[in-house]
Amino acid sequence: MNRSGMEQMWQMEFQRLFVQYLPHLWFLSPVEEKPIGSWGAFVDSAKVRFCCEKCGHGWTSMKGRVAFWFTLNPLTCEGLVVFKLFGQQCDRCNSERYEHAMWYPEEVIKVLANVYNRIGQVYYGFYQPPIHRSRRPGKPRTPHNSNLCQACKNSVCTERR
């Protein structure tokens, strides 16, 4: 799936869930950095694939990280969720770049359901939101390498339980 197809999948699944919060209108937008100000935060992880653009090496990570930040303006009835997908560096070549994660559709659905429930807890009185930690079956060939992980570098890659 190409990049714009990916973005469309995130947007469609987000709207399918968050339309349930009408009359509040919620929007989803990708960001490069954590936004400034007072935002709720939710970090999740998923099984994702990477492919190095420099040498072609591909790998699977169980700790593909996503960070969400969210806020609701009750005066305008508009809520905003911004998110960042973290990359990982290739361990086969000296590429300094963080490769973009390729997300499986069911993992997108899972993390959006989790942030939907977290927001429900914060703003809509949900009690004990069901956080789904299940991932696609299968083991990555190598353990998580913090030195190559952008989320580790940004201090959002710690297990929260």
Footprint (CB under 5 A) of Zn ion, residues 77-96: 90, 92-93, 95
Size of the site for Zn ion (CB under 5 A): 12
SS3 assignment for the chain: CCHHHHHHHHHHHHHHHHHHHCCCEEEEEECCCCCCCCCEEEEEEEEEEEECCCCCCEEEEEEEEEEEEEEEECCCCEEEEEEEECCECCCCCCCCCCECCEECHHHHHHHHHHHHHHHHHHHCCCCCCCCCCCCCCCCCCCCCCHHHEHHHHCCCCCCCC
Q: Smaller CB distance to Zn ion: residue 61 or 117?
A: 61
For the bound state, the minimum distance from the C-beta of residue 106 to Zn ion, rounded and expressed in Å, comes to 21
**By C-beta, is 103 or 116 nearer to Zn ion?**
103
Q: Shortest gap between Cβ of 141 and Zn ion (angstroms)?
A: 15
Give the x/- contact pattern for Zn ion in 50-69, rule: CB under 5 A.
--x-xx-x------------
